[in-house]
């Protein structure tokens, strides 16, 4: 531990604004992924000015900096892979301004996603991106990872809803990117920063677009005795010219785990269910809901149920959004993947995931955004068994390799982080990666911001398969 740096950080933020004891740092060595990496310090700024001073201190001491929201990420993006300082934005959590007339809001990065929607619901508005962790995840984290969620099929991922950013660069310079205007002139640097996983700068304020709540919503649950029938329904719904607000799928294993936990009303003997939202004007919604029913029945849905009221709708969605928590009740550990494929490849890909599970003798559940082909296979394993951990990572890699071969990508919303950096060459050429690196160096020339992320290193998930153990901590002073 650098006692000089610690003294300076405590002088800046006060003793309660700096964590350095082992028992405190242990809480920040993990996120929602299978990765581990312990920081040397965790700091809690309250203002942009605090962030500027932290960045300058880190620069003088040549110490890495990693921004962190709620720690719900699934790729190790908020972990201090090379030690250093984790900058937690938990205390920068104010909704600075709500402009109902122009459907805008200005927030600090620590604002919880769902809290913003609650704050504007009285005006008939909401913040459309809705990750499953939206009751915990922060808007700053959503910006960093360009998060999605079930309803991004119609509404788009986070970048579609971010208008402007205030950013602190590694030099301590404050940049104002974008504007509240619909289409500002110049390069779209806001778009460049969204999804950059904290490798360009630390975001300290975000201007977002608010979306009007739809006049009508219909939630349909289609029940199948065959996974193929469910996936073929998804393809034909789109071919019929309908873009649902959401189109989610759970296989039989997952829905049974969910039903035992949430009691949402999912049939436990089904092979798969589709959970579909259609929204918009009342007349349009009624017509589209009817088409969805007809397509589902054409593909042998044994039942198509329409939620009768908001309470039933909320319960069905509670089941979907608590799927990962439900899995945690029945397995010591699980590894969630995030591959993307064309919708037409859903049946073949799910069959391949089943084959991979059998190959490694691992149960794999599937819950995912079927409408946009964003898969979330959940690989169950016991973290106390080193061989199972290694096999789970190998199985995950084989799933992603199949997604790429099918014309897809390695991530749809979870980010690359330290989990998938070694897989980037499967998707991008050396020239592609070199260009990306040059863009990063423009903003982060010394590489102190979130080092060891996105770009290939000599190691990867679990630091190539042993579950990573943080370096021993220096004694506290």
| Mean pLDDT (10-residue bins), the chain, 477 residues | 92 97 96 95 98 98 98 96 98 98 98 98 98 96 97 96 98 95 88 97 98 97 97 93 96 96 96 98 96 97 97 96 93 95 94 97 96 96 94 96 97 95 95 97 97 83 56 47
CA dist 158 and 140 (Å) reads: 10
Where do the structural domains in the chain lie, given as residue ranges?
Answer: 1-213+417-477, 214-406
CA dist 337 and 369 (Å) reads: 12
pLDDT of 470: 44
CA dist 372 and 111 (Å) reads: 27
CA dist 376 → 69, 149, 338, 448, 463 (Å): 22, 11, 5, 31, 22
In the numeric block, which tokens belong to residue 104?
A: 């805008």
CA dist 362 and 54 (Å) reads: 45
pLDDT of 2: 84
pLDDT of 181: 80
Q: N- to C-terminal Cα distance for the chain?
A: 8
pLDDT of 448: 97
Strands 85-88 and 65-68, by their bridges, are: parallel
pTM of the prediction? 0.93
pLDDT of 323: 94
Q: Where are the alpha helices (DSSP H) in 123-176?
A: 139-145, 152-155
CATH for 1-213+417-477 (3.30.465.10, 3.90.420.10, 3.40.50.620, 3.30.830.10): 3.30.465.10
CATH class of 214-406: alpha beta
Contacts of 350-359 spanning 24+ positions with Cβ under 8 A: 350/227, 350/231, 350/251, 352/399, 352/402, 353/377, 353/399, 353/402, 356/395, 356/398, 356/399, 356/402, 357/395, 359/395
pLDDT of 182: 76
Domain 1-213+417-477 matches domain 214-406 at the CATH topology level: no
Give the Cβ contact number of residue 225 at 10 Å.
Answer: 14
pLDDT of 477: 44
């Amino acid at each position: 531990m650098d006692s000089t740096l610690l003294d300076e950080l405590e002088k800046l933020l006060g003793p309660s604004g700096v964590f350095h004891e082992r028992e405190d740092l242990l809480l920040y060595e993990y996120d929602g992924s299978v990765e581990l990496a312990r920081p040397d310090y965790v700091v809690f700024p309250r203002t942009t000015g605090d962030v500027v001073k932290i960045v300058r201190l880190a620069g003088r001491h040549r110490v890495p900096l990693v921004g962190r929201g709620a720690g719900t990420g699934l790729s190790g993006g908020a972990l201090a892979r090379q030690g250093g300082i984790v900058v937690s934005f938990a205390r920068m959590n104010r909704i600075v301004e709500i402009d109902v007339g122009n459907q805008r809001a200005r927030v600090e990065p620590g604002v919880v996603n769902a809290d913003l929607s609650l704050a504007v619901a009285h005006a008939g508005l909401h913040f459309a991106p809705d990750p499953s962790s939206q009751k915990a995840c922060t808007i700053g984290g959503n910006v960093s990872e360009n998060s999605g969620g079930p309803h991004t099929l119609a509404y788009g991922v986070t970048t579609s809803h971010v208008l402007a950013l205030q950013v602190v660069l590694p030099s301590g310079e404050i940049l104002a990117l974008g504007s509240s205007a619909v289409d500002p002139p110049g390069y779209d640097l806001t778009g460049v920063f969204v999804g950059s996983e904290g490798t360009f700068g630390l975001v300290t304020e975000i201007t977002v677009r608010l979306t009007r709540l739809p006049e009508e919503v219909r939630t349909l649950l289609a029940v199948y005795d065959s996974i193929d029938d469910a996936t073929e329904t998804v393809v034909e719904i789109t071919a019929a010219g309908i873009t649902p607000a959401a189109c989610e799928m759970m296989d039989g294993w997952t829905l049974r785990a969910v039903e035992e936990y949430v009691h949402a009303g999912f049939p436990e003997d089904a092979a798969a269910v589709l959970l579909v939202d259609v929204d918009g004007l009342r007349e349009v919604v009624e017509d589209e809901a009817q088409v969805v029913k007809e397509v589902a029945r054409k593909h042998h849905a044994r039942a198509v149920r329409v939620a009768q009221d908001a309470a039933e709708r909320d319960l069905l969605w509670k089941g979907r959004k608590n799927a990962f928590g439900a899995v945690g009740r029945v397995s010591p550990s699980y590894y969630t993947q995030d591959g993307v494929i064309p919708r037409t490849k859903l049946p073949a890909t799910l069959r391949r995931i089943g084959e991979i599970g059998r190959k490694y003798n691992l149960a794999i559940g599937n819950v995912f955004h079927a409408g946009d082909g964003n898969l979330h296979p959940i690989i169950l394993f016991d973290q106390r068994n080193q061989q199972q951990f290694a096999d789970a990572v190998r199985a995950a890699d084989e799933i992603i390799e199949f997604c790429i071969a099918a014309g897809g990508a390695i991530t749809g919303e979870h980010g690359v982080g330290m989990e998938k950096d070694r897989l980037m060459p499967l998707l991008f050429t050396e020239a592609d990666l070199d260009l990306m690196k040059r863009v990063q160096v423009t903003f982060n020339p010394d590489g102190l911001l979130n080092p060891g992320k996105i770009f290939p290193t000599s190691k990867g998930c679990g630091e190539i398969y042993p579950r990573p153990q943080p370096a021993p901590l220096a004694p506290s002073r």
